[in-house]
Amino acid sequence: MKPDALLYPTPKGLFCEVGQFYVDPVQPVDRALITHGHADHARSGHGHVLATRETLDIMRIRYGEDFCNSEQVAALGEKLVINGATVSFHPAGHVLGSAQIAVEAQGTRIVVSGDYKRRRDPTCLPFEPVACDVFITEATFGLPVFHHPDDRLEVAKVLTSLRQFPERAHLVGAYALGKAQRVIALLREAGHEAPIYIHGALVKLCDYYQSQGYDLGDLRPATLVGHDRQVFAGAIVIGPPSAFADKWARRFPDPVSIFASGWMLVRQRAKQRGVELPMIISDHCDWPELTRTILEIAPGQVWVTHGREEALVRWCELQGIAARPLHLVGYDDEGE
């Protein structure tokens, strides 16, 4: 079967005609397969949702019990037949529960990687390469200039600042799903045992990670009720980036503004956000990881979903691998 008959882009998202399902649809559909819990991939209002147990749990936490009509757990590595297509889920290394989805029919296999990374992440399973005819990849950091440093160095920068400025609160902006928990786990690995204060928007997801066996240590609410302002002096406080724009951030003593994002390697972006201490930690592949992954999987074709498609498409062609951009709309990893 021709790959572009097995899976093709539509305004609602990638559609598998043989299986009559969409992968990460951006509008409500009857049958959706979801790669991971980030809001641009996992939306509410679908009829039937197939995803890993963790992704279903995360959707429930974010959208409530009625996030879809019916749900089904996809166990990693297990093959499921949907109409005429066979699908299986494999770890993507992006956030807890994240999976690549392999779609197969009549001898053709396409792997939709969703979002993924190759770095070690103490809060999720590592990416697993799956042989395929077509590998669908994102290209958020798909330019040769994008190299992310070792995240342990980035964590060490924060701990050094904490020692230098023990009177200042260290305010870390990090996305509520994945990034926040990874930053906390990395701080713990680096020996930071003190309580970490978290914004209310992170509580349920951090609790969920802890319930799944990911030890995040002593987490406390970053509310001032019943607290002396000075509690936060020399403490690490983590909140979603959106909280930094409002009054919430102004209640901490002389805060050091930190932002954990792959985009922090672009100095201009850090400056625009008023970030004093950029923490370059990404849940996406940088350029060397993207290209190494493609060489390792050695697919017949590469389709690029979102990000900087052109450079990656060109690079594939130079390697003798057919490639094209998919021009999918509705995915946004600007914030990653």
Interface positions with Zn ion (CB under 5 A): 38, 115
Query: Rounded to whole angstroms, how far apart are CA atoms 49 and 70?
Result: 6
Give the number of other Cβ atoms within 10 Å of residue 292's Cβ.
Answer: 12
| Burial 164-174, CB ≥16 within 10 A → b, else e | eeeebbbbbbb
Q: How near is the Cβ of 336 to Zn ion at its closest, in Å?
A: 7
Match 């009549």 to its residue by tokens. 106
Q: How near is the Cβ of 94 to Zn ion at its closest, in Å?
A: 6
Name which of 37 and 239 has its Cβ closer to Zn ion: 37
Name which of 62 and 227 has its Cβ closer to Zn ion: 62
Name which of 104 and 283 has its Cβ closer to Zn ion: 283
Match 């305004």 to its residue by tokens. 11
Q: How near is the Cβ of 221 to Zn ion at its closest, in Å?
A: 26
Please give the DSSP secondary-structure letter assigned to residue 150: -
Name which of 6 and 58 has its Cβ closer to Zn ion: 58
Q: Under a CB-based contact definition with an 8 Å cutoff, are residues 301 and 323 in contact?
A: yes
Name which of 38 and 46 has its Cβ closer to Zn ion: 38
Q: Under a CB-based contact definition with an 8 Å cutoff, are residues 167 and 298 in contact?
A: no
Name which of 175 and 248 has its Cβ closer to Zn ion: 175
Query: Rounded to whole angstroms, how far apart are CA atoms 212 and 149?
Result: 28
Q: How near is the Cβ of 140 to Zn ion at its closest, in Å?
A: 9
Q: How near is the Cβ of 141 to Zn ion at its closest, in Å?
A: 13
Q: Dihedrals φ, ψ of 83, to 5°?
A: 50, -120
Q: How near is the Cβ of 38 to Zn ion at its closest, in Å?
A: 4
Query: Rounded to whole angstroms, how far apart are CA atoms 35 and 103?
Result: 12
* Phi-psi sector, 162: left (phi>0), alpha (psi -120 to 50), beta: alpha
